Amino acid sequence: MTIQEKENVALIAVAAAFCDGRKSEEERDRIRELLGNLELPNAASLVPRVLLNKAPLETTTAALVSPESRALAYEMAVCIVEADGHRNAEETRFLTRLGDLLALPSAESRQTLEAADAVAAAGALPAIASAVSAPPAAALAPVRDLEPTIRKTAILAGALELLPQSVATLAVLPLQTHLVYRVGKAHGYTLDAGHVKEFLGVLGLGLASQAFEGMARKFLGGLVKRAGGGLAGSLTSAATGPVITFATTYALGQLAQRYYGGGRTLSALQLKETFQQLVGSAKAQGERFLPEMRTRAGSLNLAELPSLIRGV
């Protein structure tokens, strides 16, 4: 894509992130920060232009000429909207209008929505009737070794970054959510979606902003992953996405092990600091596991994503 096309795709992605009007100021700041790392001449102005209605959808969609850029803009918008759960009525109206303005074939837009819906539905955690709690220690069975599960999940998450489809990138989020859920459950904690979302939020991993980051890095270029408030590295090769996604996922699993295995005694500050340390050390592992990620990506079938999310 040309620089101008990338800029307009980014504007549409920002509009999708804010279309329900409910994003926190922290989430907005995070997206502004991410945009600042894009290799676009006007990156810093993208969020203000959307929020001040200086980049109406009619203008940004009309500027996308190629079928590829129009399809990508729609796919990114769908994935960003569905990152924090199935779309609501306001978000559905936005996507319907966007699809009309992009003049996408109805079969194409329907296929994109259905794929994202399936991933979002698979990411939903089982409902629980009461607050997060754990049984007495005496009632717990010995915790099995979770290292193979964490590593396998991290390899799969990295492999998803290697696939060209936007919905594959969207699947990283629910995959990480379910990993935290499974680790907590292994330690006797029954978690709900709100708790896991709060856990990720403490680490600076807002769902919408994390989805935006993955899409921007993969399709718009120039983005360096940030984790827990600090730069996770200066990797600039094609392996950046898979390595960092592996590291983030692996670190999440290890942190969840320490948190739930230790009786949830770590403070928010301790969680953040420990997560940054774990991500840093996990990057080297990610580079070593790149061949396995590539092999895993070669055998992935997008139709399998929902089942893979629920149980790797």
Distance CA 202, CA 270 (A): 10
Q: CA 266 from chain center: how many Å?
A: 24
First to last CA, the chain: 35
Prediction pTM value: 0.82
Tell me if residue 231 falls in helix, strand or coil.
strand
Written as six digits, the tokens of 279 are 């991500």
Which range, of 14-18, 138-142, 270-274, 285-289, averages the lowest pLDDT? 138-142
Written as six digits, the tokens of 88 are 């609501």
Distance CA 164, CA 161 (A): 8
- Give the pLDDT band of residue 229 (cuts 50, 70, 90): very low
Residue spans in the chain of domains classed CATH 1.10.3680: 3-120
Write out pLDDT tens, residues 56-102: 999 999 999 899 999 999 999 998 888 877 788 898 999 999 999 99
Q: Which class does domain 3-120 fall in?
A: mainly alpha
Q: At what angle do helices 193-202 and 240-261 cross, to 10 degrees?
A: 110
